[in-house]
Structures are given as structure tokens and as C-alpha cells.
Amino acid sequence: MTELEKCMAGEIYDCHNEAFLYLKEETRRLLREYNSLRYEQKEEKQDILNRLFHQIDTNVSVAQPFLCDYGTNISLGSNVSINMNCTFVDCNKIEIGDNVLIASNVQLYTATHPVELSERLTPNWNMETGQYFCRTYALPIKIGSGCWLGGGVIVLPGVTIGAGSVIGAGSVVTKDIPENSLAVGNPCRVIRKINGETM
């Protein structure tokens, strides 16, 4: 398997492999350009987002500044609003459905490391080999249609948030949230079911 294939399979991979470094360099260039545009330059913004993301449907707004690792692993549905200062660490897939609100300072993290120190450190690590000193893997994040993530929410690797759910501001989502749920806190927990029907 290539390092990219390992990454997308959720296995330990070399995040400093040349393929990733090239992607990051290109993404940083696009983000610098995007984040420097004026509010009214909507056509220019849309052009960059089309190049940056794997998929982007209609009526999508991404406020500045916005940060991501690669962009190519991010898919956005229709009617998606991403407010300012959001960070998407998209080492693996981040899939966001339709009619989703993402408030300011939301952070979506797909990358992670083994908890045990003996597993986290690269065996026989040597700076001269060019290896990174610790091991990394990444797990996908999925946010269903009709969700609302409040300000400052953090979503950890491998989490799925079910359609129609609302995550309260400042919550840290460590586990899957079922659909049509109101969930809050650190760690985030469901406090009640909500009506998922549209008008």
C-alpha cells in the first residue's frame, strides 16, 4: 500500500511522505489566496473552493479565515454555512451533508496518534532517516444533513454526527451522536431527542 492508501484505510502512515508534502504546499497556496480575498469577491472565492475541495454543491458559504490540511478530502453538500475561524484537519475524509450550519471556531480533527507512548513513538527513530518521531493515523468524520454545530465545537477522529442533530457550543464530540439529538458538554452527550422534521 502507498502511504496515502494507508492513511485513508485508517492505518499508521508517514505523514511526511512527499505526496502529502506536495498536497499541503498546494493547499497552503490556495488558502493564502482565499483568505486574502475581500468579502464581495464571491466569484473568486467560489473558484478557489471548487479547486480546494473534493466536492462542493450549491449555496455553500465558507467564511474567512478558513484552514484545512489538504482540502481534497472534504465534501460539502448544498446549503452549507461554515463561519469564521474554522479548522478542518482532513487527513481522512470529512463529509458534510445538506442544510448544515457550522458556527465560528469549529474544529474537525481526523488525525490522531496511539495513546500508549510505546505505540505512539516511531521504533528506532533517527532524525537522519527523515522519519517523524511519532506515529500518526486518521479516521473519517461524517456530519449528516440538517446538523448545527455551535461555536467552538471540537469533533474528534472517527465520529459520525447523525442527521438533524444539534451540538451545543463548546462541546467536544468524542463518540458518535445519533440522528435528531441535542448533545452538549465535554465529553459531548445526548440530553434529549429533537424533532427532525422540516416545515
Which residues are designated catalytic? 113
Please report, for residues 1, 41, 46, 98, 136, the alpha-carbon distance to residue 14 in angstroms, rounded to integers and kept in the order given.
Answer: 12, 38, 32, 33, 7
93 and 112 Cβ atoms separated by less than 8 Å = no
d(CA 124, CA 20): 23
CA–CA separation, 67 and 149 (whole Å): 17
For residue 57, list its beta bridge partners: none
